[in-house]
Amino acid sequence: MPPIRCLLVDDEPPALAVIESHIAMIDGLTIVGKCHNAIQAFGLLQSTPVDLLFLDIKMPKLLGTDFVRSMRQPPKVIFTTAYRDYALDGFELDAVDYLLKPISFERFLRAVSKVMRIEPSAIGAEVLDNEPESMSEKPVTTATEYSFLYFRADRKMVKVFIRDILYVESLKDYVKIVTTSAKPLVVKQSISSLEEMLPDAGFLRIHRSYIVAIDKINAYTPSYVDIAGQELPIGRLYHKEVGRVLKME
């Protein structure tokens, strides 16, 4: 799987060091350059392929937001800044995410996971260029077939392929991720934050404590869904949406 090529742009060396340290902990990301302003970054982009730009907003000579506006086909961008007021500009430019300094590893990981979900990591660009333009011409699972997320567990980062997830169960301040390929993974994270990281088309919240993979449902009733022999309850507040998705009578 080709790594995601990252360019770091920030006029503050300590901020660059934090991003570099976070990236070093994640398999699948590689740094192809570090710049202290947008002018340097512009020059590097002319000669170096970049998939993901970690871009500070308030920098001398040229703001990060203005730099993105100047590019005809910018790479995916995660803005980093110490100024909350710039958030609206960042999202108007269709940024992947907006990270407020100081950037914790957990928050960084959530942002990067969005990129890893967007990028079909095991499919080369040449293959994607030859795919039909209409999504209806592709299998529904194509977009997430090779997508994955990383979770911190047992003092290491563990890769979980989205296609392998059966369901997620909330355990107060933790979640249990049950997959087809390994023992359940228990992670310190809220179920709501994990729900945001999962593709909407493939997963369904059926209860305040459960998210399920729709294509892994073996059977269902108005009260529960069956996945891998486990009967998971459908919550009263979720019953209408579950019925709509599963088309229950």
- At residue 37, the pLDDT reads 95
Whole-angstrom Cα distance, residue 6 to residue 23? 9
Instruction: Provide the pLDDT for residue 131.
Output: 35
CATH number given to 130-246: 2.40.50.1020
User: Boundaries of CATH 2.40.50.1020 in the chain?
Assistant: 130-246
Residue 117, pLDDT score: 59
What pLDDT, on a 0 to 100 scale, did the predictor assign at position 248?
61
188 to 105, 173, 193: CA distances (angstroms) = 13, 6, 11
Do residues 140 and 114 make contact, with C-beta atoms less than 8 angstroms apart? no
pLDDT for 162 equals 86
Domain 4-118 grouped into CATH 3.40.50.2300: yes
- C-alpha Rg value of the chain to the nearest Å: 20
Cβ atoms of 198 and 161 closer than 8 Å: no
Collect the ranges in the chain with pLDDT lower than 70: 1, 84-92, 117-146, 248-249
14-47: pLDDT as tens digits: 999 999 999 988 888 999 999 999 999 999 999 9
Q: How far is CA 228 from the centre of its chain?
A: 26
The whole-number pLDDT of residue 152 equals: 80
* Residue 226, H or E segment: strand 224-227
How many residues make up the chain in this entry?
249
pTM of the model: 0.52
| Amino acid identity for residue 13 in this structure | P
Give the C-alpha separation, 164 to 119, whole Å: 17
Q: Is 55 left (phi over 0), alpha (psi -120 to 50) or beta?
A: beta
Cβ–Cβ under 8 Å, residues 178 and 138: no
Predicted confidence at residue 135, as pLDDT, reads 29
Q: CATH 3.40.50.2300 spans which residues of the chain?
A: 4-118
DSSP per residue, 198-224: S-TTTEEEEETTEEEEGGG--EE-SSE
